[in-house]
Structure 1
Amino acid sequence: MKYTKSIISGLIVIVIVVLIFLSGTTVASGNRGVLLQLGAVKPTILTEGFHFKFPFIQTVQQIEVRVQKEESTQSAASRDLQTVTTKVAVNYSVDPGAVNKLYQEIGLDYRSRIVEPAIAESLKAITAQYTAEELISKRPEVSAKVKDMLASKLTKYYMMLEDINIKEFAFSEEFNKAIESKQTAEQNALRAQRDLERIKIEAEQKIAQAGAEAEALRLKKQEVTADLIQLKQIEVQEKALEKWDGHLPSVTGGATPFIDVNGLKKE
């Protein structure tokens, strides 16, 4: 009888320990706990740490609320009917205060059921509003519109969009060649325009230089007077006398010939 009581007491202790063990649960860091009672979602949301629950009646489903990353590659048609393949990275998180509703209405596969389709739909809708060239030149604007539309879609399903980054726009080979040809033509046109401007400036400089030279010549002509001409003639004669060796030429090119006086004396 004594041993029977001891065994019963031991079993009771074991049962109590097991119940205590089953009554406790721990929610990991970066998660929230959805409390389920006999399969039904309760409004209580368990935060990080240790919590008590009714064993065999209540269970806890943990859902991550940290920022998650989703990368997607989607093909869509632009406004000018060019095929555009867009690679995008999306950062989002589950609303910590609505994990119970997310689990109840969507479940744990919210990424494939909500996030991926929302990204694809947003990219296709915004891409169709722009031409292929505008997608490149207005990339920040396109990214902002995709972000607004995607944020609106995720908010309906208890998720928050943190950020979006369009990594790449890829086009068909034919379109890439057309863009390259256009850029080459634009560069050639710009080069020709610069050459034309250079030639125009050089011509204007030559005209200005010729005008300056003509003006200088006109001023010099205004300075030439009869007195100045006489003075120049005197200067020339003085320089000639400085170089004269004292012998007169026999004949000059003038109307009256010079006669060699020394020769006449000898005769």
Structure 2
Amino acid sequence: MQFPVLKRFYEKYMMTITLAVMIMGLLFVYLSPTMLVTIPAGHLGVRWYRFYNGTDLGPAVPEGTHLKFPWDELYDYDARAQLVDQEYDVITKDGLLVATHISFLFRVKPETLGMLHKEVGPDYLNLILKPELGTTARSIIANYTAEEFYSTYREEAQDKILAEMLAELREENSYSAKNTVLIVFDRIMLKSITLPERIASAIESKVEQFQRQLEYDFRLQVETKEKERKRIEGEGVQALFDNIGTKEVPNYLRLVGINATLELARSNNAKIVVTGSSLNALPLLIGNDTLIPPAQQPQAAKIETTKGANQSPPQLLKAPSDNTKATPTQAEKPATKTDKTQTDKAKK
């Protein structure tokens, strides 16, 4: 019974219904960019109702495509871990201005994203994080001198800045209640520290001198050990010669020379072997005349003559010493007299 009524109603208002459907379709197509919102991967959304309580403080809208009324808003937030580099000018304990390059890693918290949007807004990085980090870094670095912060206490200062920053974000402030974390801080890195040129050069020179002092201390320890080694070696050599005896020292040295010559002969390199001048000399020795007893030194070879037994042996010429004067020979004496007579005649 109801179907005939609907049929008559449709036949009576067919044009009006068709026109209304077409108008609604056109409106949907026109308003679809404002009604369909896509949240990309790794992002979260926050709803804002124009006619109902404003910002939704509940869980954030997950990624995907969502439908909303044209008069409402859906804000997009990046929920991934973000790395930000920022340079701060800080003053050390000794009053020096130091440029510090700090990198920090953070991400938003999905449970409190609505409160972050309501109390701070999308520009929370410049409104909260950078100023808070700068204040915390200045208060921590002010406890260190430029040398300490530049050389040895950098890691300690970095850990203290991170701990202080986490405590600041948990405290009650104008944008969050106590123990309400809006932003999660994961890590802080002190990338570089720029000191005045003169101060940096002085600190580097001091560190260099300290390392050089450590090097000299190590050298002294090595030389002390070397002194002890040489002392023990000398005692061993002294004990060896005491056992051998003074008379057997030349024979022992000759044996050592023979062994050294054999070792040299076994090598594959090109070599020249210099042997002694007699059977009693060492096979390889420089200045062996000081080591061989006089009884074992080679005697001068006798000169054999073939012209007869009456011929006198050749005499060795000796160089005149400083205290003796050379006497003229018989051949020189007449020549000297002749020269004297010639000079006398010339005078007459």
Q: TM-score, normalised by structure 2?
A: 0.55
Residue aligning to 1:98: 112
**CA deviation vs aligned residue, 1:107-166 (integer Å, no higher than 9, x gap):** 111111001112212211221233333323233322222222223334556111132222
Would the aligned equivalents of 2:112 and 2:181 in 1 still touch at CA under 8 Å?
A: no
Distance verdict in 2 for CA 1:209–1:8, change over 3 Å: closer
2:18 maps to what in 1?
A: 9
Cα-to-partner distance string for 1:47-106 (whole Å, 9 max, x where unaligned): 1123333343x2222222122221101121223333322111112111122221111101
- Map 1:10-159; keep pairs closer than 5 Å: 10-15=19-24, 18-19=27-28, 21=32, 23-38=35-50, 40-44=54-58, 45-56=60-71, 58-135=72-149, 136-154=151-169, 158-159=182-183
Q: Does 1:204 align with 2:213?
A: no
Equivalent runs, 1:232-243 vs 2, <5 Å: none
Report which of the two has the higher share of strand.
Answer: 1
Indicate the structure with greater helix content: 1
Distance in structure 1 (CA, Å) of the matches to 2:37 and 2:216: 77
**Structure-2 separation of matches of 1:24 and 1:209:** 93
Query: Partner residue of 1:254?
Result: none
For normalisation by structure 1, the TM-score amounts to: 0.69
Could you tell me whether the CA contact under 8 Å between 1:89 and 1:165 is conserved in 2?
yes
Question: CA contact under 8 A between 1:74 and 1:86: conserved in structure 2?
Answer: yes
Unaligned runs of 5+ in 2: 1-10, 171-179, 246-294, 297-348
RMSD over aligned CA atoms reads: 3.5
| Separation (CA, whole Å) in 2 of partners of 1:52 and 1:195 | 78
Q: Calculate percent identity across the aligned residue pairs.
A: 23
C-alpha spacing 1:65/1:187, structure 2 compared with 1 (3 Å): closer
Where does residue 168 of structure 1 map in the other structure?
Answer: 192
SS of match in other structure, 2:90: strand
Query: Is the radius of gyration larger for structure 1 or structure 2?
Result: 2
Q: In the alignment, residue 144 of structure 1 is paired with which amino acid? A: D
Question: Higher relative CO (CA 8 A, sep ≥ 6), structure 1 or 2?
Answer: 1
| Gaps in structure 1 of 5+ consecutive residues | 222-238, 241-267
